[in-house]
Amino acid sequence: MAEQPDSPTGQPGSTARGRRPRLSEVGSDPDYRYSLANERTFLAWIRTSLALLAGGIAVVQLAPDLGPRALRLTVGIALIVIGGVIAGAAHHRWSTAERAMRLGTSLPPSRLSVVLGYGLAIVALVVLIVLIVAEGGQ
């Protein structure tokens, strides 16, 4: 997540020293509505992360009938790790979007939705298989 994507405009946010200037020093203030929308998107990602954490804890601790403990632990840890990655990357997404808005460049693509989408798809598949196997064994 830390590498900078190559920008066709030659990375307008970087200085000669290679150190990125502070957010408030680049460009100009965007419309306050955009800044606040960006902030709310950040908060929405944090809430998504918290929901995944709650799901992960619940699968391991509150659903003993779902399947063997090893499998529940795998699903729970997967959910919590996805949640942790999203929480960790949410600030980077916020700050790159804010920087792009201040400089008037296009918003950089975010890989957060990829992590969430494919991550949850894999978890759903595993849970589905666990349920089918558990029902078939009875």
Which residues have C-beta within 8 Å of that of residue 120, sequence separation ≥ 6? 82
Among 1, 73, 125, 132, binds another protein (CB under 8 A): 73
> What's the closest the beta carbon of residue 36 comes to another protein, in angstroms?
5
Residue 60 sits in the site that holds another protein (CB under 8 A)? yes
Residue 76's Cβ-count burial label (10 Å; 0-12, 13-18, 19+) is buried
Nearest CA to 82 out of 44, 123, 41 is that of 123
Cα 122–chain centre separation: 16
Among 6, 32, 70, 135, binds another protein (CB under 8 A): 32
- Looking from the CA of 95 toward its CB, the CA atoms found within 13 Å total 16
Residue 68 sits in the site that holds another protein (CB under 8 A)? no
> What's the closest the beta carbon of residue 44 comes to another protein, in angstroms?
7
Interface residues with another protein (CB under 8 A) are 23-24, 29, 32-33, 35-37, 39-40, 42-44, 46-47, 49-51, 53-54, 56-58, 60-62, 73, 76-77, 80-81, 83-84, 87-88, 90-91, 94-95, 98
